[in-house]
Chain A
Amino acid sequence: EAGVTQFPSHSVIEKGQTVTLRCDPISGHDNLYWYRRVMGKEIKFLLHFVKESKQDESGMPNNRFLAERTGGTYSTLKVQPAELEDSGVYFCASSQDLRGSPLHFGNGTRLTVT
């Protein structure tokens, strides 16, 4: 079984530019999550998709962040325009169902905004 795949693994952009992160969940996993870890701090929840629908986006920092999951397969997270405080590691995770099944995390995308 292929794991959760994230692309790119690293991205360095200048303040004001746009970046799009991609996540391919494990096949058949309806639940997809985005998390972020800012330097040395806790991993924080951003949002949750069930298939193509946003179930919970309470963790999204502001309207510069836009997440989509067209067709209920892969997901993208766009940051536009990027700010310095957006730097961090963005993780995607997927699970089969809400109760009892573990979260499977990707290796993350390290975003650096200069």
Chain B
Amino acid sequence: QQQVKQSPQSLIVQKGGISIINCAYENTAFDYFPWYQQFPGKGPALLIAIRPDVSEKKEGRFTISFNKSAKQFSLHIMDSQPGDSATYFCAATKNNQGGKLIFGQGTELSVKP
């Protein structure tokens, strides 16, 4: 049973466009929701994270939107650039479990010039 469902599996966006990746979770005890970015041959790297006491968090061109009642959260990449092409993973955990993350299946983003 997959506790965090991520969509789409792959995404192609034109340079300058908005990339949107969605995740849904089941466990209402989750209280920390990070997004990781992974380039080929590298490990995942923390991109941005949110806790459920806020509905939105923005860092530069990256924004997380969080809907607690719907148990959904999404990553928006504004003004997408070819350098953003990577695999993106959403994840969830309970704060007291720290690094024991439950990951989504990943989204391969390709930004075309």
Q: CA–CA, A56 to B98, complex, Å?
A: 12
- Whether a CB of chain A sits under 8 angstroms from the CB of B100 is yes
Interface centre among B97, B98, B99 (most CB of A within 10 A): B99
The reply to whether A105 and B44 contact each other, CB–CB distance below 8 Å, is yes
Q: Which of A11-19, A61-69, A71-79, A91-99 forms contacts with chain B?
A: A91-99
Closest to A6 in B: B43
Q: CA–CA, A48 to B49, complex, Å?
A: 21
The reply to whether B105 and A45 contact each other, CB–CB distance below 8 Å, is no
Q: How distant is A17 from chain B, measured CB to nearest CB, in Å?
A: 25
Q: CA–CA, A56 to B101, complex, Å?
A: 12
Residues of B within 8 A of A (CB): 2, 4, 6, 34, 36, 41-46, 49, 89, 95-106
Q: CA–CA, A14 to B44, complex, Å?
A: 28
- Whether a CB of chain B sits under 8 angstroms from the CB of A43 is yes
Known: A45-B100, A105-B45. 13 other contacts (CB 8 A): A31-B98, A33-B99, A35-B101, A42-B2, A42-B103, A48-B100, A56-B100, A95-B98, A95-B99, A97-B98, A99-B95, A107-B41, A107-B43
A residues within 8 A CB of B6?
A: 42
A residues within 8 A CB of B46?
A: 102-103
Interface centre among A4, A95, A97, A102 (most CB of B within 10 A): A102
Residue from the list A4, A31, A42 in contact with B105, Cβ < 8 A: A42
Q: Mark A79-102, 1 if CB is under 8 A from B, else 0.
A: 000000000000101010111011
Residues of A within 8 A of B (CB): 4, 31, 33, 35, 40-45, 48, 56, 91, 93, 95, 97-99, 101-103, 105-108
Q: CA–CA, A7 to B112, complex, Å?
A: 34
The reply to whether B104 and A4 contact each other, CB–CB distance below 8 Å, is no
The reply to whether B98 and A105 contact each other, CB–CB distance below 8 Å, is no
- Which 5 residue pairs of A and B lie closest in terms of their CB atoms, listed nearest first? A105-B43, A98-B98, A43-B103, A102-B46, A42-B103
B residues within 8 A CB of A42?
A: 2, 4, 6, 89, 103-106
